[in-house]
Amino acid sequence: MAFVPRARHGGTMSGAGTGGSDTAAVISLRGAALSYGERVVWRDLDLDVRPGEFLAVLGPNGAGKTSFVRALLGRQPLSAGELTVLGRPPRDAARHLGYVPQQAELSAQAMVRARDLVRFGIDGHRFGPRVRTGAVRRRVDEILASVGASAYADVPLGLLSGGERQRVRIGQALATDPRILLCDEPLLSLDLHHQQAVTELVDARRRSHGTAVVFVTHEINPVLGLVDRVLYLARGGHRVGTPEEVLTSHALSQLYGTQVDVVRVHGRVVVVGAPDGTAAPPHHPHDADRAHALHETDGVRP
Residues lying near ligand ATP in the complex (CB under 6 A) are found at 36, 41, 59, 61-67
- Tell me whether residue 44 or residue 116 sits nearer to ligand ATP (CB atom): 44
| Nearest distance from C-beta of residue 280 to ligand ATP, angstroms | 10
- Tell me whether residue 12 or residue 79 sits nearer to ligand ATP (CB atom): 79
- How many Cβ atoms sit within 10 Å of the Cβ of residue 240? 25
| Nearest distance from C-beta of residue 62 to ligand ATP, angstroms | 4
- Tell me whether residue 208 or residue 221 sits nearer to ligand ATP (CB atom): 221
- Tell me whether residue 65 or residue 295 sits nearer to ligand ATP (CB atom): 65
* Buried/exposed code over 119-147 (b: 16+ C-beta within 10 A; e: otherwise): bebbeeeeeeeeeeeeebeebbeebbebb
Three-state DSSP class for residue 104: coil
| Nearest distance from C-beta of residue 45 to ligand ATP, angstroms | 13
**Contact by Cβ (8 Å): 75, 66:** no
| Nearest distance from C-beta of residue 105 to ligand ATP, angstroms | 12
Q: Which residues pair with 264 in a beta bridge?
A: 269
Nearest Cα to Cα of residue 216 among 48, 60, 19, 84: 60
Cα 186 to Cα 137: distance, rounded to the nearest angstrom: 26
- Tell me whether residue 233 or residue 260 sits nearer to ligand ATP (CB atom): 233
Three-state DSSP class for residue 36: strand
| Nearest distance from C-beta of residue 64 to ligand ATP, angstroms | 4
Beta pairing, strands 54-58 & 27-36: unpaired
- Tell me whether residue 64 or residue 222 sits nearer to ligand ATP (CB atom): 64
| Nearest distance from C-beta of residue 127 to ligand ATP, angstroms | 28
Secondary-structure percent of the chain, ordered helix, strand, coil, rounded to 5: 35, 25, 40
**Contact by Cβ (8 Å): 116, 209:** no
